[in-house]
Structure 1
Amino acid sequence: MNELEHWMRHALALAAKGRGSVEPNPMVGAVVLDAAGRLAGEGWHQTFGGPHAEVFALSSAGERARGGTLVVTLEPCCHHGKTPPCTDAVLRAGIVRVVVAMADPFPKVAGGGIALLRAAGVEVHVGLCEADAVALNAPYLKLLRTGRPWVHLKWAMTLDGKIATWTGDSKWISGEESRRRVHELRGRVDAIIVGRGTVVADDPLLTARPPGPRAPARVVLSASGELPERCQLRTTARSVGSDTGGPVIVYTANADKLVGWAADGADVVALGDGVSLDAVLADLGRRRFTNVLIEGGAGLLGSAFDERVGDEFHVFVAPKLIGGTAAPAPLGGLGVQQMADAVALDRVTSEPFGADVYIHGFAPRGGQSAGPPVTG
């Protein structure tokens, strides 16, 4: 690993500190090296609407930036948005070389920042650690490319592959350490999505405890519109906050059955004759949601699997046995017919969480396809 790669990997680690706080913006990290190649300053994009990584890094470097190198994980912006163009700050600081991991496909940038710097006489190199930069900002890139958010699928199951007993009891399959990890994940996404069955069976609040950087929207999919008259989601729909949760959004094909929910503060969205996951994700994308978490139950997770909308998987396996043919497995739906069609995850890791094992992986390819409506 050469010096520039070392500093780019350091910048990528800095960028990751913004996870959950900067979306729908990308995570960006930057390092300034002085003319002798020594670290002079560093920074990362910390909050949505706040200063960009380059500004933090250049500010911390001060006059030591003059004649130096900027190492940054994403192409510097060249347009006026919530903040001034970063290219202006780079030129004012006297930077003579910029090393960029990847170009920014955002239409108002899209190579313009690189071109502007080169036109001003700055030496610009693009592509160092590009694959890592792309992986880091995969949710941002997917939203730009498809108009849909990055979809996390999560479930906890027993060693024999069950998510509840045949009576529907599921508290608790996983241990405290695993549940803490789930709450950390909840606190970094824009929405938590469940189906009607989960609302009826578990009466969830769908919050992050303790609160994280975000108060995720609480999303329910119910084609029938048959939801409980009394439940935590309905009674807290107006009480938006870090403790009570984000806004409640209900997608349905029968909005007339949810007039009471709407009166209590829920955003009831009618979606034709059924509730297609693709239509739901398209609407969430229009709201600029970057990451969403589908928690179940089996029907919704099965629909997500059949439609191949999952991008990232979080599975907790507990060393417990339930048994019973009527006890549900995590994925309902149609499934695949042959093992040759099974989905093999990429970049799979596993680690112990107390007595449980956490398995984390990614879908082998991106993209979405419209599929059959979700029922329930």
Structure 2
Amino acid sequence: MDDLLFLSRALELAERGRGHVSPNPMVGCVIVHNQRIIGEGWHRQYGGPHAEVNAIRSVTDESLLPESTVYVTLEPCSHYGKTPPCADLLIAKKVKKVVVCNDDPNPLVAGKGLAKLRAAGIEVETGLLADQGRELNRRFFTFIERQRPYVMLKWAETADGFMAPPDFRPMPISGALSRQLVHKWRTEEDAILVGTNTARHDNPQLNVRLWNGRNPVRIVIDKSLQLPPSLHLFDGSQSTLVYSLVPPETETVGQTTYVQLDSETDFLPQLLADLYQKKIQSVIVEGGAVLLESFLNQGLWDEARVFKSPVVLEKGLAAPPIRGRLIDTNRVGDDWLMTYKPV
């Protein structure tokens, strides 16, 4: 029971890294001596010290470490990356035991960290709160195992199932609290994607204005490169990717990068494969309806967040039908937020 308590605390700490550590996983670490926490840490920033390092640095009396248990949400790394291996650090500190939620699926680690610890005589226990650990790092696990970003679909629809009025004019469907929540989500994901029609009709900025945090990479599909340069997406204010089927005049203009793909039928898989190569771990797809339905029909999604508002339009652009498993329902102001996962 105590193991679960301390690992739960490590998971809480790991969550603090959300939006700051991608493409690394979120990791938390708790060090316990005689049932008392003597050190805590989490991975705070990509390229910065890992959770185990920060936890050990927080210990005031390192002489206690040889009789301490280290609780960490993910297998300690065993390779040199931007930082030295955490497994080596734990061995050097002669910790007594290490308890881990999940093995690291990264081929550079993949059990090697745990094997190192065991070879050094450190007791290792794995698999505790494994489901919670995997859910916390579902973006990371998807990125490593499927070699594509974690795809989150997001849209708002009226009570009668429409996303926009018949004339496609921009019209807020969801309420103010829901829109603010969406901006919070943008700070937590690597990129945000829209299709050609949404870019043209809504002229979105796709940045973070209603929350504090980083802007995501903006992505727009413009297969024929016909979108006008006057759109907000091309204002040069943040990193932007444009995917097309025709060759661009130039590959880069300021912070905008143009990428030509070569297959109409495999356009979305190719796009996701390119994002994987660019180390973009997660992407929010914000529309429009045709693009969202394409992701749904091709099974290229991992989560859908749908706002259902009390607004009634009676006619307009229909929201895409979703064939998924409803896993959560929450009230957000006057709206209902429904979260789905694939069946």
Structure 1 and Structure 2 fold alike (TM over 0.5): yes
Determine the structure 2 residue equivalent to 1:316.
Answer: 307
Determine the structure 2 residue equivalent to 1:207.
Answer: 207
Separation in 2, partners of 1:254, 1:58: 53
Match of 2:323 among 340, 343, 352: 343
Separation in 2, partners of 1:200, 1:228: 8
Separation in 2, partners of 1:263, 1:123: 54
Deviations 1:19-40 (A, max 9, x none): 1111100111111001x12111
Determine the structure 1 residue equivalent to 2:280.
Answer: 289
Separation in 2, partners of 1:136, 1:102: 11
Determine the structure 1 residue equivalent to 2:336.
Answer: 357
Separation in 2, partners of 1:208, 1:227: 22
Determine the structure 2 residue equivalent to 1:372.
Answer: none
Alpha-carbon distance, 1:218 to partner: 0.9
Say if 1:301 and 1:330, in contact at 8 Å, map to a contact too: no
Alpha-carbon distance, 1:361 to partner: 2.7
Separation in 2, partners of 1:211, 1:37: 39
Separation in 2, partners of 1:68, 1:261: 54
Separation in 2, partners of 1:294, 1:40: 42
* Equivalent residue letter for 2:175: G
Alpha-carbon distance, 1:79 to partner: 1.4
Say if 1:19 and 1:188, in contact at 8 Å, map to a contact too: yes
Match of 2:256 among 266, 270, 273: 266
Separation in 2, partners of 1:114, 1:25: 18
Alpha-carbon distance, 1:344 to partner: 2.8
Alpha-carbon distance, 1:75 to partner: 0.7
Determine the structure 2 residue equivalent to 1:280.
Answer: 271
Match of 1:135, SS? helix
Determine the structure 2 residue equivalent to 1:189.
Answer: 189
- Structure 1: where are the runs of 5+ without partners? 241-246, 336-341, 365-376
Alpha-carbon distance, 1:260 to partner: 7.8
Deviations 1:282-332 (A, max 9, x none): 0001000011010000110111111111111111111010012xx11222x
Say if 1:21 and 1:213, in contact at 8 Å, map to a contact too: no
Say if 1:297 and 1:330, in contact at 8 Å, map to a contact too: no
Identical aligned residues as a percent: 39
Say if 1:190 and 1:214, in contact at 8 Å, map to a contact too: no
- Structure 2: where are the runs of 5+ without partners? none
Match of 1:187, SS? helix
Say if 1:68 and 1:94, in contact at 8 Å, map to a contact too: no
Match of 2:318, SS? coil
Match of 2:24, SS? coil
Alpha-carbon distance, 1:123 to partner: 0.6
Separation in 2, partners of 1:66, 1:278: 49
Say if 1:191 and 1:291, in contact at 8 Å, map to a contact too: yes
Say if 1:159 and 1:319, in contact at 8 Å, map to a contact too: yes
Deviations 1:163-191 (A, max 9, x none): 11111134211111000000011111111
Determine the structure 2 residue equivalent to 1:5.
Answer: 4
Separation in 2, partners of 1:296, 1:96: 51
Separation in 2, partners of 1:98, 1:260: 52
* Equivalent residue letter for 1:217: V
Separation in 1, partners of 2:310, 2:46: 41
Say if 2:180 and 2:211, in contact at 8 Å, map to a contact too: no
Separation in 1, partners of 2:49, 2:240: 31
Match of 1:73, SS? strand
Say if 1:30 and 1:70, in contact at 8 Å, map to a contact too: yes
Separation in 2, partners of 1:177, 1:119: 52
Determine the structure 2 residue equivalent to 1:374.
Answer: none
Say if 2:251 and 2:258, in contact at 8 Å, map to a contact too: yes
Deviations 1:139-168 (A, max 9, x none): 111111222000010001110011111111
Match of 2:12, SS? helix
* Equivalent residue letter for 1:272: D
Say if 1:15 and 1:44, in contact at 8 Å, map to a contact too: yes
Determine the structure 2 residue equivalent to 1:41.
Answer: 39
Determine the structure 1 residue equivalent to 2:17.
Answer: 18
Which stretch of structure 1 is more off in the superposition, 99-108 or 221-230?
A: 221-230
Alpha-carbon distance, 1:201 to partner: 0.3
* Structure with greater strand percent: 2
| 1:320-335 pair list within 5 angstroms | 320-324=311-315, 327-331=316-320
Separation in 2, partners of 1:354, 1:169: 24
The alignment covers a number of residue pairs equal to 340
Aligned-pair Cα RMSD in Å:
1.7
Separation in 2, partners of 1:31, 1:261: 46
Separation in 2, partners of 1:166, 1:175: 20
Alpha-carbon distance, 1:263 to partner: 4.4
Determine the structure 2 residue equivalent to 1:253.
Answer: 245
